[in-house]
Amino acid sequence: MISLYSGEFLEISIRNLMIPSERVAHVQVGNNLEHALLVLTKSGYTAIPVLDPHYKLHGLISTPILMDSILGLERIEFEKLEQKRVEEVMNTAVPRVKSSASLQTCLELLVNHPFLCIESEEGIFEGILPRSTVLHQLNKHIRKVSKNHIES
C-alpha cells in the first residue's frame, strides 16, 4: 500500500504548486466581451479569472458562457461583444481556496473543477492551482514511493 503521507505529498504547500497571478491570463471588471474573447482565444484557455484593479477576484469568464450570452434567437449577435461587460455574464460561483488551505482540501475540489483560484487571507488573488499540476505531482510521488518500495 502506497502512503500519500510518506514523502509528504499531502504536506506540500499549494503556494509551491500554484501558477502565480502574474502568469495567469485574466480580464478585468469593466472589460467588454470582445476583449475577453480575445484573451480567451489567444491564451487557449476555456475559462479565466475576472479581477478588479486591486486583484480581487470577481468571477470566471469562459468561452461557452460568453458565446451563450451573444446567442440571439436567429443569429449570433456579434455587436453584443462590444456592448456587454464581463461582469454582466461571468460566473460568480468560483472554486476558490485560501493559500493556507491543505492539498487535501484542494484535491476534493479539483474532482469537479479543472482549476482552483487561490487567494490570500485578505482576499487578494494569488494565482491558480490547475488539476493537471496536482496530478503531475501525485504521479511523481507515486513513482518515487513505488521505486523505494521495490528497492527496500
C-beta closer to ligand AMP: residue 13 or 91: 91
Minimum gap (Å) between residue 27 Cβ and ligand AMP: 10
Q: The C-alpha cell of 95 is what?
A: 472554486
Minimum gap (Å) between residue 60 Cβ and ligand AMP: 8
Report d(CA 120, CA 108) in Å as an integer: 20
C-beta closer to ligand AMP: residue 33 or 40: 40
C-beta closer to ligand AMP: residue 49 or 81: 49
| Positions that interact with ligand AMP (CB under 6 A) | 19, 23-25, 45-48, 114-115, 128, 130-132
E strands, the chain, in order: 19-20, 27-28, 47-51, 57-62, 96-98, 115-119, 125-130
Minimum gap (Å) between residue 33 Cβ and ligand AMP: 17
Report d(CA 131, CA 143) in Å as an integer: 18
Q: The C-alpha cell of 56 is what?
A: 480581487
C-beta closer to ligand AMP: residue 48 or 66: 48
